[in-house]
Chains A and B, each alone.
Chain A
Amino acid sequence: MALKNAEQYRSSTKPTWCKDCGDYKVLESLTAAMAELQLEPHDMVLTAGVGCASRLPFYTNTYGFHTVHGRALPAAIGIKVANKERTVISVGGDGDGFSIGGNHFIHASRKNPNITYIIMDNEIYALTKGQNSPTSHEDLLTKINPYEVIEERINPVLMALSFNTSFIARGYCEDQDQLTDMIIQAIKHTGFSFVHVLSPCTQYNFKVTYESIRKRIRQLPDKHDTSDRITSMKYAMTQEPLYMGIFYKETRPTLHDKLEHLRGMALGAVGNPSEYTIKDVMKQFE
């Protein structure tokens, strides 16, 4: 196998993203991570819901399942359970992942499938031309919130920590080397890994610019203990500054491990036969 570079994971489809969209950089970091890991495109599956960020699978040459709004994770879980050899990565935006699909994030964390979830957070619904999302700043007025924003924003990393997601990191699309490394570690992590990426929308969200993010972020200390969930939560609590880096990781049995264990028990209950066929299933009805 000839060594692949990041470009060789791209499809010929030209992104529909606006000029300056942060998602280009996330795509670059993701394909760089794929190249670093020398994964075969046909051995990977990208899943997505609907939104600007969710278009990303079309711009790679991997297999992909672009589902309906909010459903990237359940699709990814189905794919991974049925086809465990594949590297499965879900991508999407903040509205897709934390609003319409929010429930799935909780339960994916509980199941701990060996998949990676990358959220490109631009703090707005951009594909529909600018409405407040669950991560929008309370000061962001849009056409559907013309007077005042009445809902508070959520804190994705703190949420993930409370769900006990087994790998949690936050990166900034401009800090590409760090982000690439984070994605590599997330893919290599055995279990459900979550990478929260700040990826600004220069078209519709004027509150969030490359400069404002630069001012807002701060790196987690080098000595941060990624096995310490409580300390990670303390760092995650603050919205200003917003800490960047790998917050938390823990290795515990994955969904696949648990399903295999369960299979052993199911066969044990019938005396571990060397072969078990549909005819054996039918015996209980005789």
Chain B
Amino acid sequence: MVELVTRIVGSPGDGVISSGDILTLAAARSGRYVSTYRSFPTEIRGVDQSLYQLRISSKKILTSADEVDVLIAYNERFLRDNISDLKRGGVLIFDSSGNDCRFEEYENFTKYFVPITFLAEEFGSERAKNMVALGVLLGLTPNFEINDQVKADISKKYETKGSEVVKSNLQAFDKAYQWTRQNLEKEAFLEKLAIEPSGKKLVMSGCEAMALGALVAGCRFYSGYPITPATEIMEFLAQEMPRLSGHVIQCEDEIAAITAALGASFSGVKAMTATSGPGLSLMSEAIGLAAMAELPVVIVDVQRGGPSTGLPTKTEQSDLNLAIYGTHGDTPKIVLAPINVEDSFYQTVKAFNYAEKYQVPVIILSDVSLGERRECIDQFDPTALEVVNRLKPENIDDKVPFSRYTKTYSGISPMTTPGEAGGAYIATGLEHTEDSSPSSKPHVHTAMTEKRFKKLETAQSEFVSARKYGPDDAKFGIISWGSTSGPVLEAIDIAQKQGYSIQALYPRIIYPFPTKWINDFLSNKEILLIVERNFTGQFANTIVYRCTSMNKDIQIHNLMKYNGEPFTTNEIFSKIDRIIKGQYLKFTTHQ
């Protein structure tokens, strides 16, 4: 696998994010795989750094990598903050305009001191210094051959700002490229680097992937309330949904958003809402309504740090308990957790299929790091994907009231749409009989609760089992969920090179809880490591509670992270390494 990992750091206003986006798009359009990580300061004009990391590869990749080959820094402080992540033999590009620091203390790197800001002024405008940086990077990697795509993306990025801006940015990029070829010494690794392209790619963020998945699945109604970091889904759908004859409405709060989505679903249209933790908390009551009235609906939660307002721009996987247990009463629902951008797309299509087929609310758990990051996915044919629609009655006798909640073997009852003669019924949050009359009789509540959960039983029998990675005979198992699975799988690759045999299980269906898959997975394991980004071990607790009694001798370890950042591959590998080297006593977490 040939790849290049680049990190750009600067202050807000240095254009870090714009240049990163342009390079990402260009690399993807040229047929390479790309995975990115962006970090914004929370305040728009704060002193925090803007960071953009992108990994460009000839093969499919799971993360944006821990260590970088090239570090581009616009100021001294951020260079020092990031130098520890630069690989030995890596390349450092420093904006030396007005700063003659030569960083003698940092050895083993190729250092380029480029007066990026001064060059930008010379080439036209100080504001174009991010384009100069791109020109320098590509000037150092002549075999990468994506200049045309970069220029096309520069034009696209700045077209709304007028032709003058486009021209000056293109000029700065071109001149910097030429300047680099003429003035900088060649660095062997970069000079020869050629990352093979492979097939056509689509490049999108995790949020866009979910929005696209919804459209492909036939979603034609979206209601939402703005919230970081989920708003990008609504922005995308607001642009596209009307063109496909669907509708997007902005609501006064998350409660209205989900109730409107339920209204649309009752009305026969596939509906979705998206939010983050605070919104999911508010939606909990109506999620129960969806379960009770058996209305299909998809709810996306792009998780952020909590509780309360928490860390709106930082990532966490701490809404699992809320998603699974958050609604009062016995509430059948399905919770999915995609692991990367491509999976975000496919799991969203599945979310609609499950919602429609089993007439339940389906929650998708993404998170800041996954929702915002851009990755490549292979081009696909949207018309070739399976799309499921709700069960309709075969024939309706309009002489008798329609029995909407008829008990069936699968638990799934045919559903009518307003406008359909003879199909009228009242969808209700009250417990009800098969013909939707309110009832609090003991036998009715018993039978109808069982009916609603029968659907989950049917669903579980139809689910394809959880994915595994690594050799089946490994005695060391790792279980992870959601976006944490990327670094887990990469850590297993590293471990394999060290001679460790490890297998991972990463269920994408988190609820109904994958008890059987986990028990099967654990049957031959001696050590289990559970990795997730929260303090309380939300997934681990349920695994320990439900699964490990089958295998009482198993050693259980946890790795939890709750600082608002995603896991690095190295953090997971070093935990594996320490466990194997016996630096932990056998203990069963948790509490």
| A residues neighboring B (CB under 8 Å) | 11-13, 40-45, 47, 50, 55, 57-58, 61-68, 71, 73-83, 85-86, 103-104, 106-107, 111, 255, 259, 262-263, 266-267, 270, 276-282, 285-286
Closest Cβ of chain A to B113, distance in Å, is 38
B271 close to A (CB within 8 Å): yes
Bound together, the chains give a CA A263 to CA B243 distance in angstroms of 6
Interchain CB contact under 8 A, A281 and B240: yes
Interchain CB contact under 8 A, B426 and A77: no
B94 close to A (CB within 8 Å): no
Stretch at the interface among B11-19, B36-44, B201-209, B568-576: B201-209
B162 close to A (CB within 8 Å): no
Within 8 Å CB of B223, what residues of A? 74, 78
Bound together, the chains give a CA A12 to CA B263 distance in angstroms of 25
B428 close to A (CB within 8 Å): yes
Closest Cβ of chain B to A93, distance in Å, is 16
Within 8 Å CB of A270, what residues of B? 243
Cross-chain contact of B419 among A85, A267, A281, A282 (Cβ < 8 A)? A85
On whether A83 and B382 interact (CB within 8 A), knowing A11-B401, A71-B286, A281-B244, the answer reads no
Bound together, the chains give a CA A107 to CA B254 distance in angstroms of 13
Interchain CB contact under 8 A, A63 and B424: yes
Stretch at the interface among B58-66, B77-85, B174-182, B245-253: B245-253
Interchain CB contact under 8 A, B423 and A42: yes
Bound together, the chains give a CA A278 to CA B384 distance in angstroms of 12
Interchain CB contact under 8 A, A68 and B244: no
On whether A61 and B419 interact (CB within 8 A), knowing A13-B437, A78-B267, A263-B245, the answer reads no
Interchain CB contact under 8 A, B260 and A77: yes
B241 to chain A: closest residue by CB: A266
Within 8 Å CB of B485, what residues of A? none
Interchain CB contact under 8 A, B239 and A86: no
Closest Cβ of chain A to B284, distance in Å, is 11
Interchain CB contact under 8 A, A68 and B267: no
B421 close to A (CB within 8 Å): yes
On whether A79 and B266 interact (CB within 8 A), knowing A65-B426, A66-B426, the answer reads yes
Within 8 Å CB of B288, what residues of A? 68
27 residue pairs bridging A and B, Cβ less than 8 Å apart: A41-B424, A42-B418, A55-B438, A63-B418, A63-B426, A66-B426, A68-B285, A77-B260, A78-B271, A81-B249, A81-B260, A82-B221, A82-B269, A83-B269, A103-B256, A104-B252, A255-B249, A259-B242, A259-B247, A263-B245, A266-B239, A278-B383, A279-B383, A281-B240, A285-B202, A285-B203, A285-B208
Consensus secondary structure, chain A interface? helix
Contact code string B374-412 (vs A, CB < 8 Å = 1, else 0)? 000001001100000000000000000100000000000
Closest Cβ of chain B to A163, distance in Å, is 12
Contact code string B268-300 (vs A, CB < 8 Å = 1, else 0)? 110100000000000001101100010000000
Closest Cβ of chain B to A70, distance in Å, is 8
Closest Cβ of chain A to B447, distance in Å, is 20
Interface centre among A42, A61, A85 (most CB of B within 10 A): A42
Interchain CB contact under 8 A, A40 and B421: yes
Interchain CB contact under 8 A, B418 and A77: no
B72 close to A (CB within 8 Å): no
Counting from the closest, the 3 A-B pairs by CB-CB distance are: A78-B263, A78-B260, A82-B264
Within 8 Å CB of A13, what residues of B? 437
Within 8 Å CB of A80, what residues of B? 263
Closest Cβ of chain A to B182, distance in Å, is 34
Closest Cβ of chain B to A87, distance in Å, is 10
Cross-chain contact of A286 among B29, B265, B418, B426 (Cβ < 8 A)? B29
Bound together, the chains give a CA A78 to CA B427 distance in angstroms of 14
B255 close to A (CB within 8 Å): yes
Interchain CB contact under 8 A, B267 and A71: no
Closest Cβ of chain A to B383, distance in Å, is 8
B184 close to A (CB within 8 Å): no
Within 8 Å CB of A74, what residues of B? 223, 251, 255-257, 259-260, 263
Interchain CB contact under 8 A, A12 and B401: yes
Closest Cβ of chain B to A1, distance in Å, is 11
B551 close to A (CB within 8 Å): no
B500 close to A (CB within 8 Å): no
B262 close to A (CB within 8 Å): yes
Bound together, the chains give a CA A173 to CA B427 distance in angstroms of 27
Interchain CB contact under 8 A, A86 and B244: no
Cross-chain contact of A81 among B200, B247, B419, B424 (Cβ < 8 A)? B247
Q: Known contacts A42-B418, A66-B430, A286-B379; can you find 12 more A-B pairs with CB under 8 A? A: A50-B429, A64-B424, A65-B427, A67-B286, A78-B260, A82-B220, A82-B265, A82-B267, A86-B418, A103-B256, A255-B249, A259-B242
Cross-chain contact of A61 among B245, B255, B262, B401 (Cβ < 8 A)? B401
Cross-chain contact of B267 among A41, A86, A280, A285 (Cβ < 8 A)? A86
Bound together, the chains give a CA A79 to CA B261 distance in angstroms of 8
Bound together, the chains give a CA A41 to CA B423 distance in angstroms of 10
B245 to chain A: closest residue by CB: A263
A76 to chain B: closest residue by CB: B263
B417 close to A (CB within 8 Å): yes
Within 8 Å CB of A285, what residues of B? 202-204, 208, 212
A64 to chain B: closest residue by CB: B426
Interchain CB contact under 8 A, B427 and A64: yes
Interchain CB contact under 8 A, B420 and A286: no
Within 8 Å CB of B142, what residues of A? none
Interchain CB contact under 8 A, A82 and B208: no
Closest Cβ of chain B to A155, distance in Å, is 21
Bound together, the chains give a CA A68 to CA B263 distance in angstroms of 12
B540 close to A (CB within 8 Å): no
Contact code string B208-252 (vs A, CB < 8 Å = 1, else 0)? 100010011000110100000000000000011011110101011
A41 to chain B: closest residue by CB: B424
Bound together, the chains give a CA A285 to CA B423 distance in angstroms of 42
A72 to chain B: closest residue by CB: B259
Closest Cβ of chain B to A74, distance in Å, is 4
Closest Cβ of chain A to B247, distance in Å, is 5
Bound together, the chains give a CA A12 to CA B285 distance in angstroms of 30
Cross-chain contact of A282 among B245, B262, B382, B425 (Cβ < 8 A)? B382
A105 to chain B: closest residue by CB: B252
Within 8 Å CB of A64, what residues of B? 424-428
Within 8 Å CB of A277, what residues of B? 244
Bound together, the chains give a CA A285 to CA B342 distance in angstroms of 13
Closest Cβ of chain B to A56, distance in Å, is 10
B470 close to A (CB within 8 Å): no
Bound together, the chains give a CA A267 to CA B243 distance in angstroms of 6
Closest Cβ of chain B to A271, distance in Å, is 11
B414 close to A (CB within 8 Å): no
Interchain CB contact under 8 A, A61 and B424: yes
Cross-chain contact of A262 among B202, B220, B242 (Cβ < 8 A)? B242
Within 8 Å CB of B197, what residues of A? none
Interchain CB contact under 8 A, B267 and A42: no
Within 8 Å CB of A267, what residues of B? 242-243
Closest Cβ of chain B to A72, distance in Å, is 9
On whether A65 and B263 interact (CB within 8 A), knowing A58-B437, A78-B271, the answer reads yes
Within 8 Å CB of B422, what residues of A? 42
Interchain CB contact under 8 A, B263 and A75: yes
Closest Cβ of chain A to B389, distance in Å, is 15
Interchain CB contact under 8 A, A45 and B240: no
Closest Cβ of chain A to B524, distance in Å, is 42
Interchain CB contact under 8 A, A77 and B263: yes
Contact code string B519-556 (vs A, CB < 8 Å = 1, else 0)? 00000000000000000000000000000000000000
Interchain CB contact under 8 A, A83 and B268: yes
Interchain CB contact under 8 A, A45 and B203: no
Closest Cβ of chain A to B378, distance in Å, is 12
Interchain CB contact under 8 A, B289 and A68: yes
Interchain CB contact under 8 A, B289 and A67: yes
Interchain CB contact under 8 A, A45 and B253: no
Interchain CB contact under 8 A, B259 and A78: yes
Bound together, the chains give a CA A44 to CA B419 distance in angstroms of 7
Interchain CB contact under 8 A, B426 and A58: yes
